Each structure stands twice: as C-alpha cells, then as structure tokens.
Chain A
Amino acid sequence: MEDIRKRANKIRVILIVVLIGCFLYLGASLTYTAYESLVDARVKNDVAGISIKINGEDVIGSDGTLDKNVILDNTTWESTHTREEKISPGSSGTIAMELDPTGSEVAIIYTFKFVDKQIDEDKLLTFSSITSDHTFTRTGEDEYTGIIPISELSEKINISVDFFFDALTDMEAIEEDNQELDDLFEIHFHAYQYTGEEIVPYNG
C-alpha cells in the first residue's frame, strides 16, 4: 500500500517536471520565433500595432530596423551676418515635425529626448522650446511626453522645436563643414503602446 503511494507520488513529480519543461520550451521558442528580439521587457514591433511617420518617413524601417535615423531638412534659421541657410554662433532656428500616427491600432505614448549642448557639451546647438497643437508634459530635464488616444489616431500632430547656437561659442576658423549631424544635436524619439500609466511631470 505504502509502495503504491510512493510510486504515485514519484510519477506525479516526474509529470510535473515534464510539464514545466514542456511549457518553458514552448514559451521560449514561441517568443523568439514570433518577435526575434526583446529589449527592455518589450517587443519592438515590426508587424502591427503602432505606425508612426515623422515628416512622412516611416519610423519603422523597411528592413525592420527600429532604431532608425530620421533626418529632417525643413529647418528655418535666423542668422545675422551669416550666409543664408548656414548657422553660426548667435543663430536661432526652428525644426518643424509632423507626427502621423495613422494606421496605428493602439493608444500611443511617445517621448522626445533632446540631447543638446546642455546635456552633452560637445553638441553645438541648445534646445530652447517645443510647441505643438498637441499637449506635452515635461517628464525629464530634457524629455517631453505626449499621449495619442485611440480616438485621435487619425490626426496628424504638428510640432516645432526651437534651437539656438550660443553666441558666446568660440568658433575656430574652419575651411570646410566636415562635422557629423550628431555634432549639432540629437532628438531621441520613443513611442510605445499606452496602457494607462501615469505621466509624472518633471519637477527639477
């Protein structure tokens, strides 16, 4: 009698171990075949869900690259004593962006992080303000967050970002403009599915 009970327990333990093993294997293989890469506990979507275009350029690259580089060429600069469309210390300018979430299927939370001279002193330009027909919350020293609810997924968002070139910057003589675009500033755009999390304003 005792033997039978021991045997039953043994079989139970073996079955549990086998079941857990099966599920772990199934879970792992499904995760990797379906999504290929996992970052920060979220799958970077390359199938559906969010579709955002910045100035008409799809943020999701055609090759599935997600950390894509969008280059904006519609900047307007005000510079005195400087050739048109060139910047020098004392110049200020505006970069216009159009965010188009058309085609998205879920509410979106997005952030702009400005990596400028205040954040990285090697950058040339300094961020001064962001304006839009959409509401932003400043959520960090250099970060602004916005939410696009499902009801507004068909509306385009116009954003203006103002930068300036500090007039006190020492400018060394240069014979050609051989700097990289990253030397000016970078904007890191990040968007993901909004699931109702609280947006905490920055109090710095």
Chain B
Amino acid sequence: MNKAINYRFHIKYKNEKFRFLLFAFLLLVVLFLAYFLLSVVYARYEMAAKINADIDKAIYIIDAEKLSFNLEPEGIIPRDEAYTYKFSVSNFKGTTLSDMDISYKVKVRTTTNLPILIKMYRNELPSNTATNILGSAEAQQDSDLAWYRLYTSQGEYELPYTTKTTDIYTLEVSFPTSYATNPIYANYLESIEIIIDSKQVI
C-alpha cells in the first residue's frame, strides 16, 4: 500500500518538476526575446549637430560731435553778429571705418524761449553766398505739452563706406539787436539739440 502511494507521489513529483522546468525554459525564451527586441530599438543609430555659418555683420559707424547744448542768458545777448557753433559727422571712429554706405539728415530742435534765427552750413563757412541747408521751422509739441521748433535739412547726405568722410557743419544762431530792449528775454534759456537721423543706404 505504502509502496503504491510512494510510487504515485514520485510520478506526480516528476510531472510537477517537468512542468516547472518547461515553464522556466519558456520564461527564459520570452525574456531573451524581449531583451533583444528592446536592444534593437535602443541601438538605433543617431547623430545630431548644430550648424552655423561664419558671417560678419557690417559695422555701422556714424560719429557726430557736439549734439546738444544750451544757450545760457549770460552767454547769448541780442547783437548784430551771429553766434556760430561747429560740429562734425563722420563715418569712422579712430581707425575703424563703417562697412556700409550711410545717408543722413540733420535736424535741429530748439525750445521756443528766445526769438532766435537758425541757419546751418555744410562744409562751408557762413557767408552771403553760402547755402543754408535747413528748411523752415516746424512747430512740435512733446508729451509734456512743451513746444519746440524743428528744422530739417532739405537734402540727404551720404557717407560712402569706401572713404573716411567727415562733414563739417556750422550752426549760425542770430539774436537780433531789436530784442535788446525787451527785458523779458534776459532770464530765458534756449536749448538746442542737433539730431543726426541716419540710415543704411540700400
């Protein structure tokens, strides 16, 4: 009886062992397959690069001196002779020349405190035959409601990139003697701003 039971148990144990080994083998196969499939996906070749071009941007130089100043009451009095102020506009600074042709206009903005007359001469000294480059004044009001006069040059001037160029300007300010008797202007200050409005020639 015991022998028979032991024999049946032995058979059962062998079956169980076989099923277990079969299961382990299948599991092994599945895991190997999964691993290799994953490896194939992960081993896909790839490369990346950022490409730039070595390009130089043109240098844009416009150098203007003496661009704003005040006419103090003690510095300007009504007289027959005009006051003159000089400034220059260049397309280079030191040894560095602009890489592009530049065109510009000259604008002069003044406060309206004094009854002055403005003229401007380009590359020539003031004289009866010299040409005043400024057009007539245009009234302007800023955000603070202050009024200004704006004079703009009638022409546009070019500074070629091929040559170091300097334009010399003379601003002539007249305060006629007819105002000398009016004490109201004695304490007023006039502000003058010169604007160089430049752009690249295309």
Query: Contact residues of A with B, CB < 8 Å?
Result: 1, 4-5, 8, 11-12, 15-16, 19-20, 23, 26-27, 30-31, 35, 38-45, 48-50, 52, 54, 59-60, 66-73, 75, 77, 79-83, 85-90, 93, 95, 97, 106, 124-125, 167, 171-177, 179, 181-182, 184-193, 195
Contact = CB atoms under 8 A, between A and B. Distances in A.
Given A19-B31, A27-B38, A171-B60, A86 B99 contact: yes
Contacts of B161: 81-83
Contacts, number: 203
Contacts of A95: 53
Interface size class of chain B, counting residues whose CB lies under 8 Å from the partner chain: 35 or more
B52 A70 contact: yes
Contacts of B52: 69-72, 181-182, 184-187
Contacts of A181: 52-55
The dominant DSSP class at the B interface is: mixed
A175 B20 contact: no
A175 B96 contact: yes
Interface string B20-57: 10011001100100010011011111111111111111
B200 interface: yes
Contacts of A184: 52-53, 55, 57
A41 to B, nearest CB: 7
A177 B56 contact: yes
Contacts of A39: 46
B54 to A, nearest CB: 4
Contact of B100 (A71, A88, A195): A88
A87 B51 CA distance: 19
Given A4-B13, A35-B42, A50-B47, A87 B53 contact: no
Contact of A68 (B31, B43, B50): B50
Given A173-B60, A181-B54, A31 B42 contact: yes
Interface of B: 9, 12-13, 16, 20, 23-24, 27-28, 31, 35, 38-39, 41-62, 93, 96, 99-101, 161, 198, 200-202
Nearest to B13: A4
Nearest to A94: B53
Given A70-B51, A181-B52, A12 B20 contact: yes
A128 to B, nearest CB: 14
Given A27-B38, A83-B161, A175 B59 contact: yes
B43 A81 contact: no
Given A83-B99, A83-B161, A88-B200, A72 B54 contact: yes
A71 B55 contact: no
A167 to B, nearest CB: 5
Contacts of B16: 5, 8
B201 A179 contact: no
B36 to A, nearest CB: 10
A11 B59 CA distance: 80
B158 to A, nearest CB: 9
A177 B57 contact: yes
Contacts of B101: 81-82
A186 B58 contact: no
Nearest to A23: B31
Contacts of A52: 47
B51 A187 contact: yes
Contact of A42 (B46, B53, B54): B46
